[in-house]
Amino acid sequence: MIPVVRDAVEALLRSAPPMPRRHERRPSPARLRAGQECQPPRRRLPPPLAVALLLSALFVAALLVCSCRLPIQRGRWNVVVVLVDTLRADHLGAYGYGRPTSPRLDALAAESYLFTDARAQASCTYPSVNSLLTSRHPARFLGQKDGALGIPPRIPSIAELLAAHGFTTAAVSASPVVRQSPTRFNPHGGFSRGFARFDESCLWKDAACVTKRALAVSERLREPFFLYLHYLDPHGPYDPPQPFRKDLRLARTRQPWALRGDPNPLAKMLDGGPKIDYAPRDVRYLMGLYDGEVAFFDSQLGELVDRLRERKLLERTILVVLSDHGESFREHGTMKHCRTVYESEVKTPLLVRLPRQREGARVAGPVENLDVVPTLFDLLGIQSEGLGFEGRALLPRLNGEPPEERVSFAMINQQRAAIDGHYKLVADLAAGKAQLFDLSTDPGERRDLAAAATAREPLARLRRELEAFLAKTEGEAGLRQSEEADQRLRALGYL
């Protein structure tokens, strides 16, 4: 381990109290399952017609009262993964937002599994998307030769694996990072391996382009297929079309950069760059534009779902909606993303809709984007043993089993987070400092409990978990390579 990482980890561990007890989990969320809660009531022996009527009435009542769902069936379904770059979960109605940013996603959530506590592995497109597509922790992708950002040849991606299992594969990406061919921000591409078709015609374009290309591409795909769609709308600059710009406005501003929807001057100043004038209303104005971008994407997600439904494809397709990271608006002193592992940047939506699913369910407990590929393989009935996935299949959670005791991790630059679903440790490895937040009472991470006597046990436990994770996943490389990647993208103006 490089000295600065080793010293930081040792500094974190030095203040840990000896042999703390393990954190006791809170009770699991309600278990709602057909077969468990929808048993017809015991009957007595009145005349046959009365029995039939009574049973019919009770059966209908049971259906109405119980959250009965069909048992999950594995099969060689199509898979559509919709990744929305820079979409924080708490700006969606389905995740409790009070503004009308996501009526179509909320409607989709009503017939999907919605994971209430999902996170991305990193707060930057690279290496978050690499991690998602391979079910590997992000440190695997740092420090590649010649500044490459893509998926290294030795690590198979979901597209390659599904192609080997007979799936037709295609992608449509608006991202300048998730690319087949080089861009200024990604000099070697490297995300297209395994995709028979990687459509780059929507580079930097809005959701209407991605949806249009997605529908055109999907028409020609032999089933079963895997289709990856990378939307970019909530990513800065924030420039939603009307009426989304006007309808979601939050404040007024006179700052030219804010009027342009450009968070970069403020982001750079907060990173230590040139000073500019700004007021809280300017940040609010930018957030209103961001919400407008989310709402515009949402309308296009609705268009995509409507057309897939019309073509009956939803009947035989697993649809996943998620994001690679969130976006900060000065909640912790920074703007944009790729800067911190606070919730604004790593807490992301995760929806999984199964073929013919009609009823939604909210699934509590921490999960990670790393879990998506193993979950898809499980749903498709494809053996994933020996493929090196580092996430966990979530099928037991869809089947109503309570959350496992687990700790999830997120990273960017010098920051690392360890989250157990209740507490969250945010560690700055370079500074050797740690913060602890109780997410159950403080989801905005306002009150640092690291010095509180009552928090000694979770603090010590999460420090140990993080130290073990760093030793396993990062070794000599992590911090330095993470910083180098950050500096490279920053110099190019992407961050």
Residues that bind Zn ion (CB under 5 A): 85, 125, 324
Q: How many whole angstroms separate alpha carbon 143 and alpha carbon 138?
A: 11
| CB closer to Zn ion out of 85 and 106 | 85
Provide φ and ψ at 97, rounded to 5°: -70, 140
| Tokens at 315, concatenated | 């009947």
| CB closer to Zn ion out of 141 and 437 | 141
| CB closer to Zn ion out of 125 and 169 | 125
| CB closer to Zn ion out of 106 and 233 | 233
Q: Are 160 and 373 in contact (CB under 8 A)?
A: no
| CB closer to Zn ion out of 101 and 125 | 125
What ranges in 110-252 are assigned the alpha helix state H? 125-134, 158-164, 207-219, 244-247
User: In the Cβ-directed half-sphere of 195, how many Cα atoms lie within 13 Å?
Assistant: 21
CB of 128 to Zn ion, least distance (A): 7
| CB closer to Zn ion out of 67 and 264 | 264
Strand 408-412 and strand 415-419: the pairing is: antiparallel
Residue matched to tokens 């109780």 = 438
CB of 212 to Zn ion, least distance (A): 21
Q: How many whole angstroms separate alpha carbon 1 and alpha carbon 12?
A: 15
> Which helix (H) or strand (E) is 115 found in, with range?
strand 113-119
Strand 408-412 and strand 361-368: the pairing is: unpaired
| CB closer to Zn ion out of 348 and 435 | 348
CB of 150 to Zn ion, least distance (A): 15
How many CB atoms lie under 10 A from the CB of residue 360? 20
CB of 112 to Zn ion, least distance (A): 22
CB of 238 to Zn ion, least distance (A): 14
| CB closer to Zn ion out of 85 and 291 | 85
Q: Are 445 and 480 in contact (CB under 8 A)?
A: no
CB of 204 to Zn ion, least distance (A): 13
| CB closer to Zn ion out of 125 and 415 | 125
CB of 493 to Zn ion, least distance (A): 15
Those residues whose C-beta lies under 8 Å from the C-beta of residue 428, and which sit 6 or more positions away, are 8, 414, 415, 434
- 42: DSSP letter: P
Provide φ and ψ at 219, rounded to 5°: -65, -30
Residue nearest to Zn ion (CB): 125
| CB closer to Zn ion out of 137 and 235 | 235
Q: Which of 402, 403, 449, 392 is nearest to 424 (CA)?
A: 449
CB of 338 to Zn ion, least distance (A): 8
| CB closer to Zn ion out of 168 and 173 | 173
| Tokens at 337, concatenated | 């993303």
Q: What share of the chain is helix, strand, coil (3-state, %, to 5)?
A: 35, 15, 45
Q: How many whole angstroms separate alpha carbon 393 and alpha carbon 372?
A: 7
Q: How far is CA 410 from CA 8, 96, 353, 376, 469, in A?
A: 17, 23, 25, 22, 11
CB of 340 to Zn ion, least distance (A): 14
Q: Where are the beta strands (DSSP E) in 433-478?
A: 433-438
CB of 235 to Zn ion, least distance (A): 6
Q: How far is CA 22 from CA 193, 459, 462, 464, in A?
A: 43, 11, 10, 11
CB of 125 to Zn ion, least distance (A): 3
Q: Which residue type occupies 162? A: L
